[in-house]
Amino acid sequence: MLWVVNGKKLKNLFFIIIAAFFAALILFVQKQELSVFTPVKQSGALAKVETKQKHLALTFDSNWGDRQIGLILKTLKDENVKATFFFSGEWAERHPEIIRKALKDGHEVESHGMRHEDYTQLDIEKVRRDMLFSGATLYKTGGTRPVMIRPPYGKINETVLQAAKSLNLQLVLWSVNPQDEMNPGYKEIVHSILKDAGKGDIIRLHASDSAKQTYRALPFIIRELENRGYTFVTVQTLMADGKSSHRLLD
C-alpha cells in the first residue's frame, strides 16, 4: 500500500506532539514541587512560617566552645528577647550548666544532632541513633526533651526526613542566613538580616566560638527590627502563629 504524506498535516502533528511533551513536563515539575512542600509534622522541614503577625525567630546553632554563647545569652537577657538554640549532644555533655542557664532564661533548647555529622552521608539507622542520643543527652542535662532538630550543616534528604518523622521530630531549617560563621564583619551581619527579615522568618545565627562577631551584631539587629514593629519569639511560638511553609534541601 502506498502512503501519501501531507506535509502540512505532518507539521501540525509534530507541533501537537511537542505541545503534549511540554504540558507533561510542566505537570511533572508541579508535582515535584508539591511533593517538596508537604505539611509540617508529616515529612517536611520548616524554614519559614506564613503568618500575619509581625513575628520572627532568632535561632542559634552551637556545637563548639563556650565563650561566645555566654556573650550571646547576656545580650539576649539585656534585650529581653527569647530565642531558640540548637545544641549538639556532645557539646551539651561538656556544658550542662549553659543548657540549664538557657532554659532558665526562657529560651527554647532543641537538638543539633549528637556528633554534628552530615546526616546525608549516613544510613537511616545511624541517623536515628544520632538523633536519639542527642535527645537523651539534652534531657539528661536540661530536663527537657527536644521536639525539633536542626540537622548538622542544614543538610537533609529523604533518609533524614524519614528518620525525623519516625521519631516525631520537627526538622527546622531557616529562611534568613547572614553566614555569621564566616565572620564577614558585624555590620555586614546586621545589614544582611535587616535586608531580608520579615514576617514569619527564621533567622539562623551561630553561638559557637567560631562566630566571633555575632554577639556584636545582635543589639543592632534586635533594636532595629523591634523599631520596625517586629517581635522575637521562639520557633514553637512562631509555628503556632499560622500555617507553616517549608522546603526540602538536597
**DSSP-based three-state secondary structure for 167:** coil
Which run of H or of E encompasses 206? strand 202-206
State the first-to-last Cα distance of the chain, in angstroms, to the nearest integer: 56
Could you tell me how far CA 103 lies from the centroid of its own chain? 20
Over the range 11-45, which residues count as b (16 or more CB within 10 Å of their CB) and which as e? eeeeeeeeeeeeeeeeeeeeeeeeeeeeebeebbb
CA angle 93, 174, 137 (to 5 degrees): 15
Question: Known catalytic residue: 206?
Answer: yes
Cβ neighbours around 131 below 10 Å, total: 24
CA angle 202, 205, 207 (to 5 degrees): 135
Catalytic residue among 55, 116, 206, 246: 206
Give me the residues paired with residue 244 across strands.
49
CA-wise closest residue to 63 among 100, 110, 124:
110
Catalytic residue among 61, 130, 180, 201: 61
Question: Known catalytic residue: 61?
Answer: yes
Active site residues: 61, 206
